[in-house]
Structure 1
Amino acid sequence: MKKQQGFTLIELMIVVAIIAILAAIAIPQYQNYVARSQVTRAMGEAGSLKTVVEDCMNNGKTTVGAADGNCQIGATGSSILTGAAQSGETIDATVQGVPQVVINDDNTATVTAEFGHSASTKLTTGGAKQVQWARNDEGSWVCATDVEDKFAPSGCPVGTIQ
């Protein structure tokens, strides 16, 4: 009886084909997972500014800026967002951005996080997508996004961005 010294070419080709099929399925699923997680991350980063906006509104500050008497947001730069500093934040605008805050005189406000820089291409191709928290004049906040349905978290459905 002869001992087998290794694998035949056919056996190796079958293994390579199986790996290729698994990769063809796994890579797009992983890219979708990354995009979903980035939408959730942006929702959280923008949502964390709601407390600051409420505090500013309670103190009569409706202008966002770094000057005394203005609402100083103090947002932290994010590598998946684009947006200029609004109230003295130190960010490198070439690699990161911050959510943009608008406070209106009619007791409404918006916090908008626009995807950019190192965000998934699924969120930036065909025009940058956004996640937005909007406050109505009664003090209720709602989240909306314009990403594809499959990337939207349940707490922030696809809807109209103001």
Structure 2
Amino acid sequence: MKKQASSLRRAAQALRGSSGFTLIEVMIVVAIIAILASIAVPSYNDYVRRGQLPEAFNRLSDYRSKMEQYYQDNRNYGTAANKCASDPTAASWNTFTASDHFSFSCVASGATFQSYTITATGSGGPVTGHVYTINEAGLRKTTKFKNATVDQNCWLTKSATC
């Protein structure tokens, strides 16, 4: 009987020695994970945002090219107030349809519609709060970047300066 009790005591002591993690150890691990996440998540969101911006830049450049072709044919950028490429021959592309992350608009201006401005406005996800423009002279502007009003003569991607 003594031998059996002694075996049980040894078994109990062995179990107590390998009881798992302490609360402090778990809290340290959670704190380290929280610190890493606080760095990684904003960086990832910025990476996703920068990946969606070329969609606007490509479409703005494409629309500008089409507007110049339209000008070659019609000697103006539109015939109605605030409407670009208003000739029926441009009906296949002049709707300036929205893409996955941006909406597009075009405004013809001037007395004889000799100028225009095409605007891309972020419409969803991380690019909400971004507004880019291009005009007949090829001037690229950023008027809103990460929900902040800016006035830069370039298309911003990473920071609020060119």
Q: Map residues 59-78 of structure 1 onto 2, 5 A cutoff.
A: 59-60=73-74, 62-63=77-78, 64=84, 68-69=88-89, 72-73=93-94, 75-78=96-99
Q: Summarize the Cα distance change of 1:62–1:155 in structure 2 as closer, same or farther, 3 Å threshold.
A: closer
Q: Summarize the Cα distance change of 1:65–1:134 in structure 2 as closer, same or farther, 3 Å threshold.
A: closer
Deviation at 1:102, TM superposition (A): 2.6
Q: Secondary structure at the match of 1:102?
A: strand
Asked which structure has the greater CA Rg, the reply is 2
Segments of 5+ residues of structure 2 without an aligned counterpart are 1-12, 79-83
Identity percentage over the alignment? 26
State the 4+ residue runs in structure 1 displaced beyond 6 angstroms: none
Q: For 2:121 and 2:57, how far apart are their aligned partners in 1?
A: 10
Task: Select which of 117, 120, 124 maps to 1:113.
Answer: 120
Segments of 5+ residues of structure 1 without an aligned counterpart are 82-96
**With structure 2 as the length reference, what TM-score do the two structures score?**
0.61
Q: For 1:143 and 1:108, how far apart are their aligned partners in 2?
A: 14
Contact 1:38 1:119 in 2 (8 A): no
Q: For 1:68 and 1:106, how far apart are their aligned partners in 2?
A: 16
Q: CA RMSD in A?
A: 3.5
Partner of 1:46: 60
**With structure 1 as the length reference, what TM-score do the two structures score?**
0.61
Structure with the higher strand share, 1 or 2: 2
Partner of 1:103: 108
> Which of the pair has the greater relative contact order for Cα pairs under 8 Å at 6+ separation?
1
Q: Summarize the Cα distance change of 1:28–1:156 in structure 2 as closer, same or farther, 3 Å threshold.
A: same
